């Protein structure tokens, strides 16, 4: 399939960057695991209680620093947008517009390849590279849990932990899908601005919905970040709504992917 060939070619071209970013983030989070100390973080958790409500809402409705799951919820899962989402948005929202600006898309579309194959191949590249990076980070964290003396692997809620990783991957796929969607019909600057604008709006709604008036709290259901909050699962092992959240994030990505391919297929690009 030509889309797969386009994806593989882009992965090959970008492999050094993917490996470097994966290595840096993997080491960064392995370091977080190495500094885990239940006794020390119990005192820090008391300090966290004194923080403003807005700060505490950024890390989820529930939090705990005395467990490895709670620590990763604060420093990995709730910070996913800043450590991964921004990077993926920059890449996905500017890919196709840059191809158009540099006129390289003319050469590509003059070949026997359909528009939908080209756009799908581009999208798959961003998805696969993101999954490689996030799986690399996940393996680094798991390795840290297994080898660091301050962590007891038998006390880690593995089912909840791995499910939270899955949701983090799905969230970042939603972020990529958002950036890629705008890239299929806007120029570089507009695509970047709108992508970040929508994602920041979603983040504000998903994280701070409790600060809204009671009649406005329902707006949380439109935000992908509301559905990515796994704090209740990681801190309290509460699986309520987890299947619904996974379903929403999956449907969001699939829906935007289909819309992106259709829009790009109909876009007027003289070749």
Amino acid 173: pLDDT: 96
> What element of type H or E holds 21?
helix 2-34
Structural domains in the chain (count): 1
Amino acid 163: pLDDT: 94
CA dist 43 and 65 (Å) reads 9
Give the position of tokens 């259901």: 221
Whether 245 is in a domain gets the answer yes
Amino acid 251: pLDDT: 96
Amino acid 79: pLDDT: 83
Domain around 13:
2-266
Whether 226 is in a domain gets the answer yes
Whether 271 is in a domain gets the answer no
Whether 143 is in a domain gets the answer yes
Whether 154 is in a domain gets the answer yes
Whether 30 is in a domain gets the answer yes
Amino acid 231: pLDDT: 82
Amino acid 56: pLDDT: 57
CA dist 218 and 51 (Å) reads 26
Whether 66 is in a domain gets the answer yes
Q: How many separate helices (H) and strands (E) can be counted in the chain?
A: 13, 0
Amino acid 131: pLDDT: 96
> In whole angstroms, how far apart are CA 253 and each of 110, 130, 172, 196?
29, 14, 10, 16
Low-confidence ranges of the chain (pLDDT < 50): none
Amino acid 91: pLDDT: 92
Decide if 120 contacts 3 (C-beta within 8 A). yes
CA dist 206 and 19 (Å) reads 31
Whether 177 is in a domain gets the answer yes
Amino acid 41: pLDDT: 61
Amino acid 271: pLDDT: 53
Which residue in 269, 256, 266, 252 sits closest to 97, CA to CA? 269
């Amino acid at each position: 399939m030509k889309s797969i060939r386009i994806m593989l070619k882009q992965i090959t071209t970008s492999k050094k960057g993917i490996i470097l970013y994966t290595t840096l983030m993997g080491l960064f989070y392995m370091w977080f695991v190495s500094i885990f100390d239940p006794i020390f973080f119990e005192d820090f958790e008391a300090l966290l209680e004194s923080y403003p409500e807005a700060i505490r809402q950024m890390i989820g409705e529930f939090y705990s620093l005395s467990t490895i799951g709670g620590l990763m919820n604060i420093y990995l899962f709730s910070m996913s947008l800043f450590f991964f989402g921004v990077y993926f948005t920059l890449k996905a929202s500017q890919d196709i517009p840059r191809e158009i600006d540099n006129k390289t898309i003319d050469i590509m579309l003059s070949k026997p390849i359909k528009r939908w194959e080209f756009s799908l191949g581009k999208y798959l590249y961003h998805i696969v590279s993101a999954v490689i990076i996030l799986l690399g980070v996940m393996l680094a964290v798991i390795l840290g849990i297994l080898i660091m003396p301050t962590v007891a692997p038998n006390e880690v809620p593995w089912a909840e932990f791995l499910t939270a990783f899955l949701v983090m991957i799905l969230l970042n796929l939603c972020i990529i899908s958002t950036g890629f969607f705008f890239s299929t019909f806007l120029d570089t600057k507009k695509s970047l601005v709108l992508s970040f604008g929508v994602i920041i709006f979603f983040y504000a709604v998903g994280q701070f919905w409790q600060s809204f008036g009671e009649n406005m709290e329902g707006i949380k259901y439109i935000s992908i970040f509301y559905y990515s909050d796994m704090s209740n699962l990681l801190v309290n092992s509460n699986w309520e709504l987890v299947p619904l959240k996974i379903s929403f994030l999956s449907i969001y990505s699939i829906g935007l992917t289909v819309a992106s391919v259709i829009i790009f297929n109909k876009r007027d690009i003289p070749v």
